[in-house]
């Protein structure tokens, strides 16, 4: 949620846009104020409890009509007052004529008050309570009363944390709120977004982000504590998670303390999640996601799903493109890493989807979105309109079975004697975990594209199993939710299971020779064995017992082309993006000791009633 500040940009200190992932300033043309079509003012807007929030208001110098307001709230700093920067970075909106407002949320940068990470929704019975929803309401009320020539319509947008703020703003909205665009908002920080995936802790991300946000009112640099060129080595040398407070944080980082004291899905995480709160559609909403979002892919699809259950007025929409986190915000969006999508997908989104959405709901111009969901179908690289998401028409769920000799097939395996079930095995060693991307894993380098990294860097490691189909004789279109069903055992009493679905390019690929043999991950995720029965009350695994593990991927729309192969990889470590499971059950992994970490022999079964498979929604041709 955290690489980009809002959909304009992340901005630090004296107004220099900054990309956390790459560790360098964004390359936005700053522009001269006198050349900008905007005027700018800065002000402190009072909230209902007296706290004042630093706010910048950018208005067109010339307009022939009252204009709507677009509000962007951020914890990453609005930067210095600079109409040239806003006119450049938000050119697709400035050209249409809007009042653009940026605001530092409470406790951050130039705003007063205390910052609370992902401040939980207030108790509505407490009339004096505040949250991000009340701050948004009070901000809108002030803007309507004090910004000249506004048309009393307001839109909210944001990316990542900014998107979460936008969703919070629509929980109990000001009546003037008429359009909301949450781009990559988290929805549940324990189940599928930034800090955990299915209970497995996202170590490097969680530690570095908590340090960035809570060791300073602005943004701290984690290189102050991570002093290794290869962060893989730093995290491995760190040892058990208990060492973080002992050696570095000293109990002074509140979010890290929350991680350590709430390892399971308890009331803390439930209240923070959006599921209990999104019980109505309060404003037209455009949910935006990227297939290779390395931070918040689960969130936008979950928010869309929660709102869709109450969308009687048809005002809840979804767009998913071939982007990483925030990849729609700037640039063309034609490429991600080495993968070429054949067109300027990000520019298309900004000009053909986002701008018309605001124009219709804030200005009454143009028309409403024509489809419920719009997705970019990778593989064939085309935009596809859907009347529902996940799609339901012309789809059949098929099973891709793990077979002997590393084969993957839609044909089920032959029956095996109950006394001799077929399996493949490997040894998982927490002392030598599988890296999640190629080493060296450096701070500020490579984070934004690791999900499209060529998986050959771990293929054929002894602790990574792989199965693949023969070259496909025809295209296979997978559209909707993919679900991995893994039958597995471990000699330990706890275990992680990572499953990756991969598109393997032909060895000879004339249209782009550098992609020959490329292993492109289409879906990948982790589940933590201790939560196989309950995410609230973890239990140890029984050594040697075969258990079924289900990993549901949030969504996909991809064509495996004829001549390509489909591959599945299974492993038990993904380091350091996922913390090391000791593989010996302890009540709280944040309190594990070095002696708790042990090697374990993992078995993945593939016969009879224990035949592991990937359930894929395959599009079938109309007759």
Q: What is the mean pLDDT of residues 139-159?
A: 98
Phi, psi at 132, each rounded to 5°: -70, -25
Q: 318-339 burial string, b = 16+ CB within 10 Å, else e?
A: bbbbbbbbbbbbbeebbbbbeb
Residue 508, SS3 per DSSP: coil
pLDDT given at position 176: 98
Sign of the Cα pseudo-torsion (323, 324, 329, 330, in order): negative
pLDDT at 623 over 70: no
- pLDDT range class, residue 34, cuts 50, 70, 90: low
Domains within the chain, CATH numbers bracketed: 11-187+274-386 (3.40.50.1820), 395-619 (2.60.120.260)
Q: Tell me 120's DSSP state.
A: P
Q: Tell me 356's DSSP state.
A: H
pLDDT given at position 77: 97
- pLDDT range class, residue 161, cuts 50, 70, 90: very high
Residues 396, 535, 280: CA angle, nearest 5 degrees: 65
Sign of the Cα pseudo-torsion (489, 490, 494, 500, in order): negative
Q: 138-175 burial string, b = 16+ CB within 10 Å, else e?
A: bbbebbbeeeeebbebbbbbbbbbbbbbbbbbbbbbbe
Residue 169, SS3 per DSSP: helix
pLDDT at 140 over 80: yes
Q: Which residues contact 443 (CB under 8 A, 6 or more apart)?
A: 23, 208, 222, 223, 226, 231
- pLDDT range class, residue 22, cuts 50, 70, 90: very low
pLDDT given at position 561: 98
Q: What percent of the chain shows pLDDT beyond 70?
A: 94
How much is the pTM? Answer: 0.94
> What would the pLDDT profile of 553-612 be if each residue is shown by its tens digit?
999 999 999 999 999 999 999 999 999 999 999 999 999 999 999 999 999 999 999 999
Cα separation of the two ends of the chain: 43
pLDDT given at position 124: 84
Q: What is the mean pLDDT of residues 449-470?
A: 98
Measured in whole angstroms, how far is the alpha carbon of residue 526 from the centre of its chain?
A: 14
Quick check: 286 and 180 in contact, CB under 8 A? yes
- pLDDT range class, residue 415, cuts 50, 70, 90: confident
> What would the pLDDT profile of 286-307 be if each residue is shown by its tens digit?
999 999 999 999 999 999 999 9
> What would the pLDDT profile of 318-342 be if each residue is shown by its tens digit?
999 999 999 999 999 999 999 999 9
pLDDT given at position 421: 87
Q: Which residue has the tokens 């560790």?
A: 23
522 burial (CB, 10 Å; 0-12 / 13-18 / 19+) is buried
Q: What is the mean pLDDT of residues 435-445?
A: 97
Q: What percent of the chain shows pLDDT beyond 90?
A: 91
Q: Give 412's Cβ-side CA count (13 Å radius).
A: 10
pLDDT given at position 621: 78
pLDDT at 428 over 70: yes
Residues 592, 593, 596: CA angle, nearest 5 degrees: 85
How far apart CA 287 and CA 302 sit, in angstroms, is: 10
- pLDDT range class, residue 1, cuts 50, 70, 90: low
Q: Give 379's Cβ-side CA count (13 Å radius).
A: 27
Which run of H or of E encompasses 521?
Answer: strand 519-528
> What would the pLDDT profile of 460-496 be if each residue is shown by its tens digit?
999 999 999 999 999 999 999 999 999 999 999 999 9
pLDDT at 44 over 70: yes
How far apart CA 248 and CA 211 sit, in angstroms, is: 10
What integer best gives the mean pLDDT of the chain?
93
> What would the pLDDT profile of 48-66 be if each residue is shown by its tens digit?
999 999 999 999 998 889 9
């Amino acid at each position: 949620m955290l690489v980009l500040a809002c959909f304009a940009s992340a901005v630090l200190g004296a107004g220099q846009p900054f990309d956390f992932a790459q560790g360098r300033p964004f390359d936005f043309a700053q522009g001269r104020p006198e050349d900008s079509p905007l005027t700018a003012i800065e002000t402190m807007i009072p909230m209902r409890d007296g706290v004042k929030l630093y706010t910048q208001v950018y208005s067109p110098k010339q307009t022939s009509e009252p204009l709507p307001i677009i509000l962007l709230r951020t914890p990453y700093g609005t930067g210095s007052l600079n109409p040239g920067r806003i006119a450049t970075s938000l050119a697709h909106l400035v050209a249409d004529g809007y009042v653009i407002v940026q605001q530092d949320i409470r406790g951050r940068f130039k705003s007063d008050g205390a910052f609370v990470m992902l401040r939980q929704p207030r108790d509505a019975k407490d009339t004096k309570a505040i949250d991000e929803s009340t701050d948004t309401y009070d901000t809108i009320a002030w803007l309507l009363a004090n910004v000249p020539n506004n048309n009393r319509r307001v839109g909210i947008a944001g990316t990542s944390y900014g998107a979460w703020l936008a969703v919070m703003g629509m929980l109990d909205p000001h009546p003037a709120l008429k359009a909301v665009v949450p781009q990559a908002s988290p929805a549940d920080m324990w189940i599928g977004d930034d800090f955990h995936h299915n209970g497995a802790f996202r170590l490097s991300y969680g530690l570095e982000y908590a340090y960035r946000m809570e060791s300073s009112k602005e943004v701290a640099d984690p290189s102050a504590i991570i002093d290794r060129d290869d962060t893989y080595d730093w995290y491995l040398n760190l040892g058990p998670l208990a060492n973080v407070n002992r050696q570095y944080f000293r109990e002074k980082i509140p979010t890290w303390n929350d991680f350590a004291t709430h390892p399971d899905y308890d009331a803390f995480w439930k209240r923070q999640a959006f599921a209990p709160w999104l019980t109505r559609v309060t404003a037209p909403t455009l949910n935006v996601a990227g297939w290779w979002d390395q931070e918040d892919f689960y969130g936008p699809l979950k928010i869309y799903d929660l709102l869709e259950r109450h969308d009687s007025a048809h005002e809840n929409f979804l767009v998913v493109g071939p982007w990483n986190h925030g990849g729609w915000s700037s640039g063309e969006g034609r490429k991600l890493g080495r993968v070429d999508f054949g067109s300027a997908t990000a520019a298309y989104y900004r000009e053909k989807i986002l701008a018309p959405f605001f124009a219709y709901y804030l200005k009454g111009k143009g028309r409403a979105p024509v489809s419920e969901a719009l997705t970019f179908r990778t593989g064939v690289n085309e935009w596809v309109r859907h009347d529902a998401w996940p799609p339901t028409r012309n789809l059949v769920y098929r099973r891709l079975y793990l077979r002997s000799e590393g084969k993957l097939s839609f044909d089920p395996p032959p029956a095996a004697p109950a006394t001799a079930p077929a399996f493949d095995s490997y040894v998982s060693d927490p002392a030598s975990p599988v890296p999640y991307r190629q080493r060296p894993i450096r701070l500020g380098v490579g984070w934004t594209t690791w999900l499209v990294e060529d998986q050959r860097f771990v293929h054929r490691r002894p602790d990574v199993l792989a199965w693949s189909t023969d070259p496909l004789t025809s295209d296979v279109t997978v559209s909707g939710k993919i679900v991995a069903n893994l039958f597995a055992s471990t000699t330990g009493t706890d275990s992680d299971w990572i499953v990756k679905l991969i598109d393997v390019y032909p060895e000879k690929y004339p249209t782009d020779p550098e992609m020959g043999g490329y292993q492109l991950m289409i879906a990948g995720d982790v589940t933590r064995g201790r939560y196989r029965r309950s995410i609230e009350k973890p239990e140890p695994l029984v050594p040697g017992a075969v258990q079924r593990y289900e990993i549901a991927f949030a969504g996909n729309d991809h064509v495996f082309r004829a001549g390509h192969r489909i591959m599945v990889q299974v492993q038990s470590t993904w380091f350091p993006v996922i913390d090391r499971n000791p593989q010996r059950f302890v009540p709280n992994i944040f309190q594990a000791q070095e002696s708790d970490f042990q090697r374990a022999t993992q078995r993945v079964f593939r016969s009879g009633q224990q035949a592991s498979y990937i359930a894929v929604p395959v599009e079938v041709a109309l007759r």
